[in-house]
Amino acid sequence: MAMKTVEEDEVGISCFISDLPGFRGILKQRYSDFIVNEVDRDGAVVQLSSLEAPEEELEVQISSVQENGTVVSYASRIEAFKSLAGEPDAILLEEFVNKINAGGEDSVSPIVLSPDSDKSHRKAVHNFFKENFKFLVTDVVDGPDTSLKCIRVRLNSAEPNNKGKNSKKRKERGDKPFDSRGSENWPENVGKFLRFHIYKENKDTHEALGVIGNMLGIQPKSFGFAGTKDKRAVTTQRVTVYKQRASRLASLNKRLFGIKLGDFCYVKEGLCLGQLMGNRFTITLRGIVSDSEDIIKASADALGRLGFINYFGLQRFGSGSLPTHLIGAALLRGEWKLAVDMILDPREGDILFITQRSAIAKARKYYKENNDVVGTLKQLPRYLVAERAVLQSLKTSPGNYLQALKSIPRTLRLLYIHSYQSYLWNHAASKRVQKYGTEKVVLGDLVNCKENSTAKIIEFVGSEYPEDCSGGYDSSNENEISVDIHEDISSCVKVVDAEDLNSGCYTIDDVILPMPGSRVKYPTNHIANVYEDLAKKDGISLTESVHNVEEFSITSITGCYRRVFQKPINFEWELLTYSDSDKQLVETDLEKINKSVPTSIVKPIDVGNGKTEEAFDCIRELESSDDFPKVENFKDIAGEEVKLPRGESLGDSSSQDSHIALKLSFTLPASCYATMAIRELLKTSTSVAYHKTLNQ
């Protein structure tokens, strides 16, 4: 069945707070118009400020490997390799040999050296390994494009000294990531996790970490992070990785495009999903058209004063072509085959794009018509994690659709359930606004109990993964982080009664609504019916489960609460003029580091003094039609950076027409969607399809 792009009203997004008229503005005309900086739990804004590894490096002894019964030191050989291949590849080889030395043969992944177009140089590298590292073998794999090749280095499984350890079945290794061992000589006084800031352009979090993991030769789950960030944006966030050296990651910057790593430090604990206060947004709306400038100013002031309805944005439901809440509904009903079909079937969005998207459409169509799992896997790109996981499972266990669904990484498969919870919440929020308005608390509302000192915890409720801490290197304790939080939440929520109304102690800002689960309260007014009626329409019970698979059962999910209305924090806005639509109007973290890049002048309307901005562009304009986080390999993601010619400025544009842009800066708690704030401002849809029409 072909699936269409989700529209706002289909997922319950239908109301506004203010009755001010909207105006025209283009959201994400360029991905650099949407800048996101994570805010940690201490309230500090996470920024990329340095690309260098700290001076004090770990003193990890160069490996010695047993060869033909004799212990051989490879320090001098690695030093010689540095002269041949360069420092980054020498560091990579050193880490690789260290893993083997520490007994990690059964779990060590191959490494891929830097792209090399010189065939004679590649031959010299091959010969170097044959002469100096007899326990390793090399071959050639494709580089970032057809003109480049990369040398891959792996353990020689035929080497007698290896004793066949590398053939050990993965299931016998347990569920640990490859890099949780192999560094037994890690200094005791140094934290076992390397924390760094990742800056990325037009890539989602999983995609970027997949690239880095591929280059390091470690699994994606080795990384910990507090939350995923938008794909079509410039974002900076914290990441942790287990037992990796800062110098090794810093050396990747020369090979990464659209991704930079920096601000390294060693810490004792890895990051888990949900461990953040929120995000700081800097959003530029271009092509502003309004009946008057007063309307723009009044609307911006109203957004700062009144806030917006705290809907889950379209991203939550798959803003491309995959209706994730419908997949969630199928899982809650226990319809495993239907859920698998929804994940694998052809989609309307795939045919809208060329090259990569058309290949995906072809693969989906092939599977639909032929039911050939092996043939489809050969065609399907590696970064389609959910689809490939399902097919790999069906390949080994045909017809076992539940097992296929469980093979999807836990973080991804839980998103389907969260999507359906969000679908119910959005509809309930709209009903609350339609029936009772946006100005006062009414009888039967749920509110955050003021007398409870733990009430502030409500700010973190409804995070994108409220019950999951699987982002760290070890996923064995996924639910530990949320237990105490939910204990507090259940005790600090109350139903508004007549005494509360008379006292006036609660305001509209205190009103919350539940995300369905086994331990939440529901309002005692008409809003409770919305949950029950919608779920019943979808064949789902909120109190009973039709199957015994806990993770796909609403009665086994704790549930949580979410504010109905949200005000932007530290809200600022500014009107700008510009004449070249291709120039950036706001400086990114990377541009602040690279001050030598040519600049462009942007003049604020009300200020008058010039402000220089770096002209840097690395646009990959194709919008993804796939809705869940993706992991791409190095070949898929690497590409050329696009630099503007030196000396080019706003005045050089062929179009001299003056345009107006609205720059907004504000902070939102975790899981609040900035697009919903923009929707309140413009009074228009936030769908990608709609805003693309404004560019035409």
* Confidence (pLDDT) at 201: 95
CA 237 to chain centre: 10
User: Poorest-confidence range of 91-100, 433-442, 542-551?
Assistant: 91-100
27 vs 350, residue with greater confidence: 27
pLDDT at 640 exceeding the cut of 80: no
Number of Cβ atoms within 10 Å of the Cβ of 694: 15
Out of 230, 350, 468, 580, pick the active-site residue: 230
Given pLDDT bands bounded at 50, 70 and 90, which one contains residue 108?
confident
Number of Cβ atoms within 10 Å of the Cβ of 658: 10
pLDDT at 21 exceeding the cut of 80: yes
Amino acid letter, 90: A
Summarize pLDDT for 467-508 with one digit per residue, the tens.
333 333 222 222 222 333 334 455 689 999 999 999 999 999
* Confidence (pLDDT) at 359: 83
Distances (CA, A) of 213 to 206, 207, 221, 390, 611: 10, 10, 9, 22, 39
Summarize pLDDT for 299-343 with one digit per residue, the tens.
999 999 999 999 999 888 875 566 799 999 999 999 999 999 999
* Confidence (pLDDT) at 88: 86
Summarize pLDDT for 563-603 with one digit per residue, the tens.
999 999 999 999 999 998 888 899 999 999 987 544 444 44
pTM of the prediction? 0.72
* Confidence (pLDDT) at 106: 54
* Confidence (pLDDT) at 615: 29
* Confidence (pLDDT) at 623: 30
Region of 51 please: left (phi>0), alpha (psi -120 to 50) or beta: alpha
pLDDT at 634 exceeding the cut of 70: no
Given pLDDT bands bounded at 50, 70 and 90, which one contains residue 181?
very low
Summarize pLDDT for 136-146 with one digit per residue, the tens.
999 988 777 66
42 has catalytic annotation: no
* Confidence (pLDDT) at 352: 44
Q: How far is the C-alpha of 535 from the C-alpha of 528, rounded, in Å?
A: 11
